[in-house]
Each structure stands twice: as C-alpha cells, then as structure tokens.
Amino acid sequence: MNATSQPRQLLTILLAIVLWLVSFGLGLQAIYDLVQIISLIRVALGGSLDDVQLSAPAFVFLLALGLLIFIIWSTEYHLKRVGKFESWRLFGWTIAAELSIILLNYLL
C-alpha cells in the first residue's frame, strides 16, 4: 500500500461515518415528521384528535423499529462496501428520501 492511498482511504471512511450519522439524525427527524403527516391526514379525514393522540405512540414505535432495522442493515452494507459506488448511492437515496419527508411536512 503506498503512502498516498492510506490518507485517502481514511478520508473516505471518515466521510462515510459522517454521512451515516447524518442519515441517522435525518431518520429520527423523518420519524417525527411522518407522525405529524399521518396525524394531519387522519384529522383531515374526519378522525378525532383524541384518537390520533392515542395512536401516535404506536406509529412512533413502528417507524422507529423500521429505522432501527434499516440502520443495522445499512451499517453492514456500508462496512462491506465502504468507498465503493454502491455505498455512496445508498447514502444518496437514503438522505434524499429523508429530506423529502422532512420537506413534505414543512410544505403541508
């Protein structure tokens, strides 16, 4: 291994860790925004606010469970493919989807 590829590989690994943390943080915000969107839709379709407040923890639990499963899976995926195109593509799709959910909540 030559001297120039080792710092570049370290930089790639650090960038992947930062992007993973960003996607984790955006995922938590997306959970909050999805619960808000679901609540808004349910109230707009005639549901009572009390029912929405009672079912919100169940939505948070299900969405958090889905995010946890995705985080574990994507961690394994990135560990095997760090620095490769497939890893960067997954980061791009993940962050784009999470930002879309957050943007949708602010537009509604």
pLDDT tens track for 1-20: 565 678 888 898 999 999 99
Distance of alpha carbon 8 from alpha carbon 64, whole angstroms: 35
Burial (CB count <10 Å: 0-12, 13-18, 19+), residue 30: buried
CA angle 96, 65, 31 (to 5 degrees): 45
**How confident is the model over 61-78, as pLDDT tens digits?**
999 999 999 999 999 999
Q: In which residue are the tokens 């980061």 written?
A: 91
Q: CA torsion sign, 36 to 42 to 45 to 51?
A: negative
Quote the pTM value: 0.85
Q: Work out the mean pLDDT of the chain and round it to a whole number.
A: 91
